[in-house]
């Protein structure tokens, strides 16, 4: 494996060729804020929280989509980046109805935590306050469009890990909405296995377990890693498991 050396915030780090800047920085003990990225899922590059500055370029680049290169110079926390990240969070908060005080994820929400981490204590933009429906048709889970930030983690988890393809996006731009099936109530989707992976990876209160009350919902997006590691080691393969058990 080819190893490359790059400079991150004036410090030299090594990385494997082919890694993204995000992976390299995290492997070296640093951090870059993310929202749509989740380990184990493909990258989508939609939230723009992971923007970085590259030496010699006036453009900002998403760390989750930028591959490391020999001699690369990266800045992860300049004043310019911090300003943009705050703006991204403010725009997300103003786009839908994020009323934390009455949200099932209050206190456990990744969007709320990121706002606090970045010092977003007010929103400078007009709240759009759209009138959005909830879908409580599923036997186990609830979808609240008011809290959705369109990160697509639910789509990717369902598609790439569970192997169902329940989720999609309808509409464009500000009219984009997550949909289930061909825009049918979630409870009527006959390909949903009720596994709950979409709920566990959703960073906000948009997807929750039915019956959760204010601040009661906690999620465990790390469960995906557990599922993937299990698959890679073959412990979910019935035949391999049976063979291994026979050898014990």
Applying CB under 6 A, which residues contact ligand SF4? 148-154, 157-158, 162, 164, 166, 178, 192-198, 202-204, 206-207
If contact means CB under 5 to 8 A according to the sort of partner, which of ligand FES, ligand SF4, none does residue 219 touch? none
Both tokens assigned to 215: 């601040």
Nearer to ligand SF4, 76 or 189 (CB): 189
Residue pair 118/227 in contact (Cβ under 8 Å)? The answer is no
If contact means CB under 5 to 8 A according to the sort of partner, which of ligand FES, ligand SF4, none does residue 202 touch? ligand SF4
Partners of 51 in beta bridges: 62
Burial of residue 178 (CB within 10 Å: 0-12, 13-18, 19+) is buried
Angle, helix 79-95 to helix 110-117, in steps of 10 degrees = 140
Distance between CA atoms of residues 62 and 1, nearest Å: 24
Residue pair 101/143 in contact (Cβ under 8 Å)? The answer is no
Q: Using the rule CB under 6 A, is 201 a contact of ligand FES? A: no
Interactions with ligand FES, residue window 59-88 (CB under 6 A): 62, 64
Nearer to ligand FES, 88 or 198 (CB): 88
Nearer to ligand FES, 45 or 181 (CB): 45
Nearer to ligand SF4, 40 or 203 (CB): 203
Partners of 52 in beta bridges: 61
Q: Using the rule CB under 6 A, is 45 a contact of ligand FES? A: yes
Contacts with ligand FES by CB under 6 A lie at 34-37, 45-50, 62, 64
């Amino acid at each position: 494996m080819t190893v490359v050396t790059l400079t991150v915030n004036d410090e030299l780090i090594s990385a494997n060729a082919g890694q993204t800047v995000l992976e390299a920085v995290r492997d070296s003990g640093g951090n870059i804020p993310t929202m749509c990225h989740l380990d184990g899922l493909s990258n989508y590059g939609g939230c723009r929280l992971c923007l970085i500055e590259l030496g010699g370029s006036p453009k900002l680049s998403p760390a989750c989509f930028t591959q490391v290169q020999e001699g690369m110079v990266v800045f992860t926390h300049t004043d310019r980046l911090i300003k943009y990240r705050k703006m991204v969070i403010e725009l997300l908060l103003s786009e839908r109805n994020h009323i934390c005080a009455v949200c099932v994820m209050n206190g456990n929400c990744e969007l709320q935590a990121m706002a606090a981490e970045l010092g977003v204590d007010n929103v400078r933009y007009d709240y759009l306050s759209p009138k959005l429906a909830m879908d409580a048709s599923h036997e186990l889970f609830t979808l609240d469009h008011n809290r959705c930030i369109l990160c697509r983690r639910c789509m990717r988890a369902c598609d790439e890990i569970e192997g169902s393809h329940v989720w999609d996006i309808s509409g464009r731009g500000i009219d984009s909405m997550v949909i289930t099936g061909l825009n049918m109530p979630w409870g009527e989707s006959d390909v949903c296995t009720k596994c709950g992976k979409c709920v566990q990876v959703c960073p906000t209160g948009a997807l929750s377990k039915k019956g959760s009350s204010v601040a009661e919902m906690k999620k465990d997006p790390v469960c995906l890693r557990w599922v993937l590691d299990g698959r890679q080691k073959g412990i979910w393969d019935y035949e391999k498991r049976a063979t291994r058990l026979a050898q014990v």
